[in-house]
Structure 1
Amino acid sequence: MATSRAARLAPVVDMAERAEREAARQLGHFQGQLNQAEGKLNDLQRYLTDYQQQWMEEGRRGVSGQWLMNYQRFLSQLESAIVQQRQSVEWHRGNLDKARDAWQQRYARLEGLRKLVQRYQDEARQAADKREQKLFDELAQRLKRREEP
């Protein structure tokens, strides 16, 4: 009976394994998106630093008012892009956190099912061992009766 309980759970375990694998795939996908967003943010920040360095070099040589206005406009756009990219990073981080939570829940459910199946298998094995021992005891008693005068 216990073996049949474990066997009946096999399709449920299979479904839980598929759900866990899909959640792990989603987790990887969102991790990749976060990495990409963080990479873009780093690129923008590096570009800002390079542009500021260029400003310092050009400033030493003297700049026109038009160049200064263009620089300030571009710098403002670049800083705005950095703010937006930080928001994007946070949004992707939130998606990753949700995906991680979903995977952890599915993983925990799968592990719980596996433990239940293992318990049912252990119970079935113990019941089979008891039946076998009982059979051996009965055979030993029969042989003992035959040997008695």
Structure 2
Amino acid sequence: MSRIRAARLAPVVEMAARAEREAARMLGRCQGQLTQAEMKLGELERYRADYQQQWLDEGRKGVSGQWLMNYQRFLSQLESAIGQQSQSVNWHRDNLTKARAAWQERYARLEGLRKLVQRYIDEARMAEDKREQRLLDELAQRLLQHGAE
């Protein structure tokens, strides 16, 4: 009976395994997207630092009012881009957290099903072993009875 229950669960285990694999793929995608967003943010921040260093270098030489206005306008745009990219990083980080939780849930479900199937298989094996032992005991009793006759 337990083997039959284990066999009946096979399609459920397979569905759970597919769901877990899909969740793992999504987790990987989310991790990759977060990594890309963080790299882009890092590039923007390095560009801002380079641009600010340029300001210091040019400022020592003396700059025109037009150059200063252009610098400030560009720096403002750059700060805005950094702010947007920082929001993107946070969004991707939240997505990654959700994807990790979804994967952990599916993984736990799959492992629970696998343990249940293994328990059913173990129960069937124990019942089979008991049945075989009972048959051997009966056979031994018959042999003893026939030997005594």
In the other structure, the counterpart of 2:11 is 11
Q: Distance in 1 between matches of 2:74 and 2:138?
A: 94
Q: Cα offset for 1:12?
A: 0.2
Q: Distance in 2 between matches of 1:62 and 1:54?
A: 12
In the alignment, structure 2 segments of 5+ residues that lack a partner are none
In the other structure, the counterpart of 1:51 is 51
In the other structure, the counterpart of 1:104 is 104
In the alignment, structure 1 segments of 5+ residues that lack a partner are none
TM-score (norm 2): 0.99
Q: Distance in 2 between matches of 1:29 and 1:113?
A: 26
Q: Distance in 1 between matches of 2:42 and 2:6?
A: 52
Matched position secondary structure for 2:143:
helix
TM-score (norm 1): 0.99
Counterpart residue type for residue 22 of structure 1:
E
**Percent of pairs identical after alignment?**
76
Q: Distance in 2 between matches of 1:58 and 1:45?
A: 20
In the other structure, the counterpart of 1:113 is 113
What is the root-mean-square deviation of aligned Cα atoms in Å? 0.5
Counterpart residue type for residue 146 of structure 1:
H
Q: Cα offset for 1:59?
A: 0.6
In the other structure, the counterpart of 1:124 is 124
CA-to-aligned-CA distance 1:7-33 (integer Å, 9 cap, x gap): 000000000000000000000001110
Q: How many residues are paired up?
A: 149
| Structure 1 outlier segments of 4+, above 2 Å | none
1:136 and 2:126 are equivalent in the alignment: no
Q: Cα offset for 1:88?
A: 0.4
